[in-house]
Amino acid sequence: MSNVIHIFTGRAIDPATGVLPLPGECLGCFVHRMVEEGGCSDGFGWVEHYRLVRARRAVTLTQRLTNQGCGCDCEVVSEVWEPSPELWSVDQHSGALVAPDGLPPCTKVRPGSTQPCTLWVPAARLAL
Q: Give the predicted TM-score (pTM) of the model.
A: 0.83
- For the chain, what are the domain ranges? 27-126
Give me the phi and psi of 32, to 5 degrees please: -60, -45
Read off the pLDDT of residues 6-28 as tens digits, 9 standing for 90 and up: 665 565 666 666 788 999 999 99
Cα–Cα dist 21/51, whole Å: 10
Cα–Cα dist 88/101, whole Å: 9
User: Collapsing DSSP states into helix, strand and coil, what is residue 12?
Assistant: strand
Which percentage of the chain shows pLDDT scores above 70? 84
